[in-house]
A and B are shown apart, each in its own frame.
Chain A
Amino acid sequence: MTHDGFAAAVSDAATMIDRSVRLTRRNADTLFVSILLPLLMMALFVYVFGGAIETGTQYINYLVPGILLLTTGYGASNTAMAVADDMTSGMIDRLRSLPIRSFAVLAGHVTASVARNSVATAIVVLASLAMGFRPSAGLVEWLAAIGLLLLYVLALSWLAAGLGVIAKSVESASTLSFFMLFMPYLSSAFVQPETMPRWLRPISEHQPITPVIETVRSFLTGSPMGNSGWIALAWCGGLLIASFTLATVLFRRRARR
């Protein structure tokens, strides 16, 4: 039995991923709701509000990239709650009294989170195609869009893990992650920022979600990309590094009291 070295760390992370994925499967109703809600939002905007919103294209073609980011928001909020559940139950003491890297505990949650979000996003894409979404993307554009979304989901999952570590309870983790669900509404997800009041426009244009949506939209529907691709990459990369550092440092500190 050796507990040192890279192989041991990889093995611990694999075991913890296994656990998180199994717990996700057993908690199917939470997963179901986190897919159902974005689907309902999409139906609502396509069939109810969409007719009144002018975007210069078929509204569903404008809407889908934003719905995809909304989906990841729901997924990330589940991740924050799962981490908080571990932190506030006796489980964290058991895990931390074992000779494993503390990194493995969060890595398990984050990997399961990325897997959950990928499944949810794929389902939402399929549903959108059924509802009339007609992307113009070729294989390369699809791959680029998927790559950016994965990077965004990874960054958001580490942020969620960090919020789960800070939260004093599962309920407060859910409250803390509320902004991840709210941010898409203040972005270019549903309406063009130009239609917003003057004071809100800069917020909408300069928050991280808008460039990600614009880039995915450009890849999938051929809308102009401008420099949003690079801005999106910078946001996602920066958010990933910051969230990862924050989550792991806070985890170690919180666990050390």
Chain B
Amino acid sequence: MIVEATNLRKSYGRTEVLGGVDLAVREGEVVALLGPNGAGKTTIVRILTTLTRPDAGRATIAGYDVVREPTKVRGVISLTGQYAAVDDNQTGRENLVLVGRLMHLGRQAARQRAGELLDRFGLNNAMNHRVKTYSGGMRRRLDLAMSLIGDPQVIFLDEPTTGLDPASRLTMWEAIAELVRDGTTILLTTQYLEEADRLADRIVLLDKGRITAAGTADALKAQIGGQRIELYFAEQTDAIKAVDVLGGVADGTLVNLPSDGTAAHLHAVLDELRSQGLQPVRVSSHRPTLDDVFLTLTA
């Protein structure tokens, strides 16, 4: 296991952020930590990248202990944080060369590597412009390029597309997917199920500092259904009765249940309800969201 963490705990004051997290990532694997704000995703990443000390527990990266051998760990990882860590008043190229030189590539090699990465991330035209003129998507791509300079063995991506517009998000996904194809080990955090599904081999669900479920995207989706149906009832008692008949989860007068998205399934559901004398007021159908995942798997 190239990343191995056991029983990680962290509190700030009286607030427990991590309540004993175990995590293991195989070499070449892409793992997504999926959870809402405040679930502890960033804290896990900060501990594994030596930026924060755990209160208890132990973690190693490529066999190096994150607390006792931080410099060794830093030599084999890279971090792309939530906020693009770039110098606004340097050009894209200068930012890349800066990191290359701090990785001790040597001036010549740092420049060459910077050139390759600018090419690969479509930043060639802007390489001599100051970063403050870049769009949000360009900044993230530069940020990602900067973290690849030293050919890290494990790449940490902390919410790599949060705050990006849909087009930039797609470009970022393509860039990350290319890393995945190269066989790089990646641990990423996200609030978006779609992002985890698209990029990761395995998804780890995190809620309130604890892991609540883990598995491949397919396995998790099989549990929550490829599509969700929402049935709105006039009375809460009807909603509760509907859950008794159909399964799913009730939330007030709303019932939320898994579906395969076909018309036939919807028919079957409505027929079943009618046979029980239940009549929903309104019906809607949507792709599963993080809320559905948590409602289903952590309720």
Q: A1-B150, A97-B50 are in contact. Are A90 and B83 (CB under 8 A)?
A: yes
Q: How many A-B residue pairs have CB under 8 A?
A: 83
Contact between A96 and B51, CB atoms less than 8 A apart: yes
Q: Which residues of B contact A91 (CB under 8 A)?
A: 85-87
Taking a contact as CB atoms under 8 Å apart, the answer to whether A90 and B102 are in contact is no
Asked whether, in the complex, the Cβ of A93 is within 8 Å of the Cβ of B79, the reply is yes
Chain B 91-149 interface residues, beta-carbon cutoff 8 Å to A: 94, 98-99, 101-105, 130, 146-147
* Chain A interface residue number, banded: 20 to 34
Q: B85 contacts A89, CB within 8 Å?
A: yes
Stretch touching chain B among A4-12, A60-68, A110-118, A176-184: A4-12
Q: Give CA–CA (A100, B86) in the complex, Å.
A: 17
Q: Give the nearest-CB partner of B98 in chain A.
A: A19
* B79→A4 contact, CB < 8 A: no
Residues of A contacting B99 with CB < 8 Å? 94, 98
Q: Is A206 an interface residue (CB 8 A)?
A: no
Which A1-34 residues have C-beta < 8 A from chain B?
1-4, 8, 11-12, 15-16, 19, 22-23, 26-27
B51–A255 contact, CB under 8 A? yes
Q: How far is the CA of A202 from the CA of B71 in the complex (A)?
A: 50
Interface size of B by CB at 8 A reads 34
User: Hey, which chain A residues are within 8 Å of B74, CB to CB?
Assistant: 3, 97-100
CB <8 Å contact, B104 and A97:
no
Contact B102 A100 (CB under 8 A): yes
Q: Is the CB of A3 within 8 A of B75?
A: yes
> Chain A nearest CB: distance from B81 CB in Å?
5
Chain B residue with minimal CB distance to A92?
Answer: B85
B67-95 toward A: CB 8 Å interface, digit per residue (1/0)?
00001101101110111111101100010
Asked if residues A90 and B52 are in contact (CB atoms below 8 Å), the reply is: no
The docked-state distance in angstroms from the alpha carbon of A98 to that of B103 is: 7
Is the C-beta of B49 less than 8 angstroms from some C-beta in chain A?
Answer: yes
Q: Closest CB-CB distance, B202 to chain A, in whole Å?
A: 23
User: How would residues 111 to 148 of chain A score, 1 for a CB under 8 Å from any chain B CB and 0 otherwise?
Assistant: 00000000000000000000000000000000000000
Contacts of A198 in B (CB 8 A): none
Cβ–Cβ < 8 Å partners of A4 in chain B: 71
What is the distance, in angstroms, from B9's C-beta to the closest C-beta of chain A? 15
A256 touches B75 (CB 8 A): no
Q: Is the CB of B146 within 8 A of A94?
A: yes
Inter-chain CA distance A19–B95, complex, in Å, is 9
Q: Which residues on A sit within 8 Å (CB–CB) of B150?
A: 1, 98
Chain A nearest CB, measured from B241 CB (Å): 51
Contacting residues, chain A, for B221 (C-beta < 8 A)? none
Query: How far is it, in angstroms, between the C-alpha of A94 and the C-alpha of B99 when the chains are bound?
Result: 9
CB distance from B94 to the nearest CB of A (A): 7
Minimum C-beta distance from A155 to chain B (A): 27
- Residue of A15, A26, A256, A257 near B98 (CB, 8 A) is A15
Contact status B77-A97, CB under 8 Å: yes
B103 CB, nearest partner CB in chain A, Å: 7
- Chain B residues with Cβ below 8 Å from A89 are 83, 85
C-alpha spacing A2/B71, complex, angstroms: 11
List, in ascending order, chain B residues with CB within 8 A of A99's CB: 71-72, 74-75, 103
Query: What's the Cα separation between A72 and B98 when bound, in Å?
Result: 29
Establish whether residues A19 and B52, one from each chain, have CB atoms under 8 Å apart when the complex forms: no
Closest chain B residue to A7 by CB distance?
B104
B85 touches A12 (CB 8 A): no
Contact B50 A23 (CB under 8 A): no
Across the interface, do A1 and B94 meet the contact criterion of CB distance under 8 Å? no
**Contact present for A97 and B79 (CB under 8 Å):** yes
Chain A residues closer than 8 Å to B79, beta-carbon distance: 93-94, 97
Which residue on B lies nearest to A101, using beta carbons? B71
CB-CB nearest 10 A-B residue pairs: A90-B85, A94-B85, A90-B83, A99-B74, A26-B89, A97-B79, A99-B75, A15-B101, A90-B81, A1-B104
User: Could you jot down 16 A-B contacts, CB within 8 Å?
Assistant: A1-B75, A1-B103, A3-B71, A8-B104, A22-B90, A26-B90, A27-B89, A91-B85, A91-B86, A93-B85, A94-B85, A96-B50, A97-B78, A99-B71, A99-B72, A257-B53
A contact set with B: CB distance below 8 Å: 1-4, 8, 11-12, 15-16, 19, 22-23, 26-27, 89-91, 93-100, 255-257
B interface residues, Cβ below 8 angstroms from A? 46, 49-53, 71-72, 74-75, 77-79, 81-87, 89-90, 94, 98-99, 101-105, 130, 146-147, 150
Given A22-B94, A94-B146, 5 more A-B residue pairs with CB atoms under 8 Å apart are: A3-B104, A23-B87, A26-B90, A93-B49, A97-B77
